Each structure stands twice: as structure tokens, then as C-alpha cells.
Amino acid sequence: MKFDTPATTNPIDQLKVVGQPLNRIDGPLKTTGTARYAYEWHDAARNAAYGYVVGAGIAKGRIAAIDTDAAHRAPGVLAIVTAANAGTLGKGRFNNARLLGGPEVQHYHQAIALVVAETFEQARAAAQLVRVRYERERGSFDLAASRDGATRPKSGVPESARGDFPGAFAAAPVQLDATYSTPDQAHAMMEPHASMASWNGDQLTVWTSNQMIDWSRGDLAQTLGVPKENVRLISPFIGGGFGGKLFVRADAVLAALGARAVRRPVKVALTRPLIFNNTPHRPATIQRIRLGAGRDGRLTAIGHESWSGDIDGVKPENAVQQTRLLYAGAHRMTALRLSALDLPEGNAMRAPGEAPGMMALEIAMDEMAGKLGLDPVEFRVRNDTQVDPEKPERPFSQRRLVDCLRIGAERFGWQGRATRPGAVRDGQWLVGMGVAAAFRNNQVAKSGARVRLDKRGMVTVETDMTDIGTGSYTIIAQTAAEMLGLPIDKVIVRLGDSAFPVSSGSGGQWGGNSSTAGVYAACVKLREAIATQAGLDAATAVFENGRVRAGGSTGGSTGGRAVPLASVAARGDIVAEDTIEFGDLTRRYQQSTFGAHFVEVGVDADTCEIRVRRMLAVCAAGRILNPKSARSQVIGAMTMGVGAALMEELAVDKRLGCFINHDLAGYEVPVHADIGPQEVVFLDETDPMSSPMKAKGVGELGICGVGAAIANAVFNATGVRVRDYPVTLDKLLGRMPDLSA
């Protein structure tokens, strides 16, 4: 199905199942421990051996020698895989560093060996006996130190310009020129990167924790040098990904190599230090923002430059992309600069680009509002735009940022905010409120599905879409149920298998909308096949209450009879398959999601401890397919935003080139005690330009702007402006207001 014209009325608009706050259909499996994750397919790959990864002990250089003799002699050891005996390995499209290093070492903890043994404990013990002699080389590990040598990225959109930014900024009566920084951050998902591999002749099956089945199937095949059709990936449940599992990682490649070496299934799970240093992370940024405005509070000049680093200078963190679209201003420029750093790979983490970009931009907007003497909400409203600021001929398909700000301000009690920082106390606590806009582009991706009606009247949906804790199973079931007039318990959903039609996969906030649109397309074909089998006009057939009938009062050829779906499929299953393909609507209309975050914090007047007291997110993200699971996504994103604002920071050892706090003890993330009440409001809207579902993504919108809202609240509470994240108490001590008077 080609989606190249705006959606009109269709069966989804009935909203009998879609749009309802239904419980997740996979919930009972999760809560009873019977949902099987990648490491747990014991019956599918019996007699599995265990692999333990040896990570490089240097960040840059070469392996001069590896002594594996003692490890080979250790109890239970079956094989040791290194670059010397793994055979020729390719490099996939989606990973920047090689997944098995040697003799060159590209980053700290790059996998350089896999020890395979009968038990995990034996493999781990033997791995400690592997002796490696390195030839260390000098590396670059400090973004700030490398900033002056950063260059324009080779790919992507490194810069944009409209009008005369330098002239307009210099002439602006009110100016802001400030620099902000965000640190390296880790995904810190609960389930580790884990895989289990088994060969049957030249056919490889890998059970793996991965968000994008087809991408990773292709990359794994390319890395191993085998035909893609010989590789099957299975990933029905994923215990958190946040972008860290978008691409095939070392665990999958090494499990396959280990299984080939010992000729039996092999399981590999990365330890926490390897997850932090071997897999991708969100790279640090340094961002300079310049804003110029008239006395009327209207922006005339907007400039945003960002510096980030990546291994071999492959890919920048696009922290300026929201600035190109969020606010009006005739004269504007954005630019990206990239340093080649010898740290582990920097890549996608929840809302890549916008999350760290808005941590800077929305503080800058707060600072500018202060310079202008304007309320921060009013300042943002005053600079709204309904068209792409860089291409004014291109309108937004939907843009309700102002509604989000105004509704949020009223609901949060923004009118009670003190305009003078440090003016509100609650016992020992200084109390402040902060606001930030939320923005994330809406993306869509080609997505396919297969649907089958059987003689029981049950519908089975198959697609390689994944569920990373987001509720994919449920919204896909709701889509099929709505299209075929069934209750949701009459729908079976099977996900995460490369044997199924290729879907959009889960990532970039595109998964829910795109994958359900693919199911919609397949269900349109199934409806046609069912109606034809029942002798009805497919164009007017009505599906409801588990039956199909002709449209209109007379019922056409069936005389108004409603035919049970089960009886239509009595002679055999009716199967349909289709793919949604998106046309040029995304080019003709700017498609984005919007929101507003409001936060209240308390800051201890003596210790500077920061506590988040309450949070509100107001979101405009098209049709919400399931308000219950969507709310869970947003409050989870808000929680991640608290972590980014107040505690999360991968500490770089600038001598050794590694992240030293590489576990969940040293890398702090929020816990329940850190989070106060959270409220989420979804605006009632649909976007017919986006898909037949008229939905958009929402899972990443919830993190965009939260960090800045918290930093702005801390300023409102204390009068201390912190521009370098995370906002920790040491950055407040010595700068707090004198409260003795």
C-alpha cells in the first residue's frame, strides 16, 4: 500500500479498540517470568556452551601477541576465538568499529577474544588466563581539548543558514551568547546485550536482544561473509534498548563464531563493563548558542553550533536539528563539528540529537526570557511558527506547541511561580519551577506484516517488528482487532523473527506508527479477501462483532446477513500480506511532535541537594493508539530526563581512554525515590499526513526538554545558572544566595 495522500475516514477512526487504554497483552508473560529473552531459549538450542568476551585493555594501539595456552588447558574450555582464527570478517553498515578487534585495537574493551566453555563460570575463569601484550599508541580522549581541531562531518547536514545571522545578531538590541555542555551518557538498559547462536549446516539462527531485525540480519551476514538468506534472527522480547540495540553488536557476532568453532549452540552475554565500553553511548557535546531579539521579545537571530566526537570521526551528534525548526527567526544558522576520538563508539540514544540539543537550547531560551523581562512561557509562545523557518513555503502538518505550553501552564499552576529567583522557601528547601518546550521530529519507515484468519475466527499477525518494552504487541493487536471487528483477545501477535515480513523495527520514535500502519495495510487486503470469500462487496463490507456483512440497510447479496468470520475461513486459512510505503508527504509537510515540560524542584539551602518534587508533560503527538502504554513511555522518558539533568555522566579517564564508572554502581540512574509525582496530558489530535493511523511517535518526545526544565527550575529556586550538565550539588555550592538576611 502506498501512502501518498492524506488519510481520510477509515476503520481505525471507529476507536472501538484503537485509542483505548488497554492492558498490555504481553503483561502476563512479563509478570510471570515466562516471556523468553535472548539468553533463555534453552529448549530451542539444547546443550549450549557459554562464551565469555575478553575486552581490550588499551584504547588505541595493536596487539603484539596473545597467549591462550593456559586458557586452553583450563577445565571445560572448548575453544578460543580471536581475529587470528576467526577467518575473514567483514564490517557491517551500522557499526563504526569492528566487532572483533585484532591486531588493531580501536577502543577500550573492544572484543578481542571469546573463550567458550561448558559452563559460564569455566569460561569466565579461563578468560582471566588469556595474556595479551599490547603496543599502546597515543589516543585522543578529550572533546574539549580536541575542539579547535574539529572538522565538518563528511555526511549528513553539517550546517544550515538563512538570512544574515552575523549581521542580525550584531544588530539585535538584546543578545545572548552562551556555551553549554552535555556529558557522555550510557543507555544502562536492564537486560544486557545477549545472544545465543546455533548452526545447522550453513544455516545460522541467532536469538538476540535487538531492536532492528532486518538491519542486523544484513549486518551479521555481511560481517560473517554468508548470504543474508542463510541467517535468521529471533528477538521477540527485549529488556530495554533505548537505541543501544539498534545494531548488531559483538555478542551476536561472537556467539555465531563460537558456535561455528565448537559445532554446538553458544550463548554470549556482555558483562556490565563491556556494555558501557564496548557498545555505543550518547556522545558528549559542547554547544554554543547565540540568540538575538528585539525589545518586543521576537527573535531576530538564532545561531546554534555543536561539537561532538566519535571513533575515527564517523558520525556527529546532531544536537542542532531541533533549533532549525522550533522557533521563528528570519536570520539563522546551525553548524556541526566533529572530532575523531578514540573512545568507544558514539551512536543513537533515546532521541539522539534533540535530547542533548534541547538541554542547551531550552536553557538559552530561559536565559533570554530573563534578559527580556518576559515570562518564559510567553517568550516561547511569542516566537512560535506554523511553517518550517528555513523553508517558509513548507507548513507543519500539525503544530500545537502553543496549546501545550498554555494548557501545561494552567494545569501546573505556573501563575504561582516567583519571577525573582530564590524567593520561595519551604522549610530548608528553596523551591523553583522551570519550563521547556518539547520537540521531536516524526519519522516514518516502510513496514510490512502478514495476517491470517483461521477457522476459529482468530487472527494472527506476523511481522519482524520488535517490542522493547514499548507495547508493540498491544497496539498491533489493537490495530488488527479494529480493522476486523474483533475483540483484542481474538488476535494473536507474533513479533521479532526475520522469518516474518520486514517491518520498520523499533527506534527513532518511528516504530509504533509505522508498524501499525503496515498491519493496517495487510488488514485491508485481508478484509478484501474475506469479503470476496463471503460473496460480499469488499468496498462496502462492514466488519463488527466477529462478523462481516454488506454495507447499507439491505445487505446486498447476503440479504443483510452477518457472516461469522470463523465460517468464512472454515475451508482453510485466509492469508494476506502487504507493506506500507510512504510517499512524499514528509517532504511536502514538516512532520513533528510537540510538547511542554513543567518541573518543580526543591534545593536544600545548606547541602544543595536537588529533589524533583513534581513533573508535568503535555504532548501533541497525533492519535494516541493506547493512552496507557503511551503514558508509560512518556513517564519513562521523563525519568531518563531527570537522570540526564542531575546525575548521569560517563566519566572519561583521559589517560587510558575508557569510561571508568562502567557499571550500575558507579553510573547513577534515577530510582523510585528520586521521582516525584508525574502527570502526562495528551492533546486530542490526529495527523492525516502521517499515516493511515493518523498517529505519530511519542516515546522520545518525553525526554526532549526535560533536562532543561529541571535546570531552569534549579535557577528559579536558587538564582544559580548551571550550563554544564549534570546539575550536581558541587556546581551550586559556593554560589547559593545569602539567606542570613
Structure confidence by residue, pLDDT tens digits, 626-681:
999 999 999 999 999 999 999 999 999 999 999 999 999 999 999 999 999 999 99
The residue with cell 538570512 is 163
DSSP secondary structure code for residue 74 in this structure = S
d(CA 597, CA 724): 20
Q: What is the pLDDT of residue 592?
A: 98
d(CA 208, CA 249): 10
Q: pLDDT band for position 739 (50/70/90)?
A: confident
Residue 552: name the closest of 533, 537, 534, 531 by CA.
537
Q: What is the pLDDT of residue 154?
A: 86
Q: Report percent pLDDT > 70 for the chain.
A: 99
Chain Cα centroid distance, residue 704: 11
Q: What is the pLDDT of residue 158?
A: 78
Residue 606 pLDDT > 70: yes
Residue 7 pLDDT > 80: yes
Residue 620 backbone dihedrals phi, psi, to 5 degrees: -120, 100
Residue 544 backbone dihedrals phi, psi, to 5 degrees: -160, 150
pLDDT digits (tens, 9 = 90+) for 351-360: 999 999 999 9
Q: pLDDT band for position 555 (50/70/90)?
A: very low
Residue 88 backbone dihedrals phi, psi, to 5 degrees: -70, 125
Residue 261 pLDDT > 90: yes
- Other beta carbons within 10 Å of 529: 17
Q: Is 581 a catalytic residue?
A: no
- Other beta carbons within 10 Å of 222: 18
Q: What is the pLDDT of residue 741?
A: 60
Answering whether pTM is above 0.85, one says yes
Average pLDDT over residues 34-42: 96
Beta-ladder partners of 293: 174, 299
Helix, strand, coil % over all residues of the chain, rounded to 5 = 30, 25, 45
Return the C-alpha torsion angle 399, 401, 406, 408, nearest 10.
Answer: 120
Burial classification of residue 554, based on how many CB atoms lie within 10 Å of its CB (0-12 exposed, 13-18 middle, 19 or more buried): exposed
Residue 259 backbone dihedrals phi, psi, to 5 degrees: -65, -35
Q: What is the pLDDT of residue 556?
A: 41
Average pLDDT over residues 7-18: 98
Q: What is the pLDDT of residue 554?
A: 42
Q: What is the pLDDT of residue 557?
A: 44
Delineate the domains of the chain, giving CATH numbers in brackets: 2-35+444-586 (3.30.365.10), 38-138+193-278 (3.30.365.10), 359-442+591-731 (3.30.365.10)
Q: pLDDT band for position 521 (50/70/90)?
A: very high
Q: pLDDT band for position 152 (50/70/90)?
A: very high
Choice among 345, 367, 649, 700 that is catalytic:
700
Q: What is the pLDDT of residue 558?
A: 44
